[in-house]
Amino acid sequence: MSQPPLQGVISYPVTPFDPDTGDLDLAALDRLTHELVAAGSHAVAPLGSTGESAYLREVEWDAVCETTLQAVGGRVPTLVGVSHWSTEGTVRRARVAARHGATAIMVLPQVYWKLTEDELRQHFATVAGAVDLPVMLYNNPGTSGVDLLPETVVALARGIPNLTMVKESSGDVARFRAIPELSEGTLSVYNGNNPVALEAFRSGAVGWCTAAPCLVPRWCLDLYEAARHDERERADALLAELLPFLRFIVGHGLPRAVKAGREIQRRGLGRPRPPLQPLPDGETRRLRELLARLDAPSAADGAAGPTPNGV
């Protein structure tokens, strides 16, 4: 397998909105992007579901793409989520991402009608053929309603030379071995299900796609390094501390939970965009407790060293 263009902790920024007007806050996005790079993220991935891309007007989508890639400034690779309900819209977004210097693009089958395998193949082939960039297929049955099994993923990738990566968010750890094996090493696999991060690395995932660094970057990077160096005791201790937080942000919706966490940390990024609503008070109190626990000295410190959450 050739060296994949992305690996390690791939950080997903939320999209900030002005707390008064609800408009895009591009200055806050610029600051957040700089924070994620300075914290040690191995790549930055705007405009996924965490970035509320489904709720952006096209002019807003373009502005978020441009602002984020300019803020990264080539310091780390970038992965832009270009998904749209239509093939035409996805192609347009892919070309905008390419024009602004994206390293790679990510495509989720964002559907209303269930697509046939032929329709999925045509969609991915058309998008991939519109740009000269590596393409990541995104399997997220929880948000798309479509679960692409390893055999289907490999079949889709045949005949699409630049479809070389798969973000697997089903939570089925066996797929991190199955996809590279079935594709004879042509597909690299990335974990998009936060709670199984450590199992995924141990099963062959080359990267972790996560919004958690918006709140606790050091913990995420420490876990990756421990997994990469096969420091099993240290990695297990880190995950034990981090797991309640990871389960919480996934279970309560990433845009809601991350934005609530940033408010708790006094680094607010505005409210989610309707129909999403801010995290309710009870859940916000629980998140405050989880973040306080990660800020405090912990059982993981002895094995992992200090794990500051700031950037």
| Dist. CA 165–CA 135, nearest whole Å | 6
Whether 114 is catalytic: no
Domains of the chain: 8-229 (3.20.20.70)
What's the pTM? Answer: 0.94
Question: Which member of 55, 112, 114, 167 is catalytic?
Answer: 167
The tens-digit pLDDT sequence of the chain (311 residues) is 568 899 999 999 999 999 999 999 999 999 999 999 999 999 999 999 999 999 999 999 999 999 999 999 999 999 999 999 999 999 999 999 999 999 999 999 877 788 888 999 999 999 999 999 999 999 988 777 788 999 999 999 999 999 999 999 999 999 999 999 999 999 999 999 999 999 999 999 999 999 999 999 999 999 999 999 999 999 999 999 999 999 999 999 999 999 999 999 999 999 999 999 999 999 999 999 999 999 975 544 544 444 444 44
Give the residue carrying structure tokens 């993923």. Answer: 153
CA distances from 126 to 94, 109, 153, 265 (A): 11, 13, 16, 43
| Dist. CA 46–CA 44, nearest whole Å | 7
Whether 138 is catalytic: yes
Question: Which member of 55, 112, 114, 138 is catalytic?
Answer: 138
Q: Which of 232, 209, 205 is nearest to 220 (CA)?
A: 209
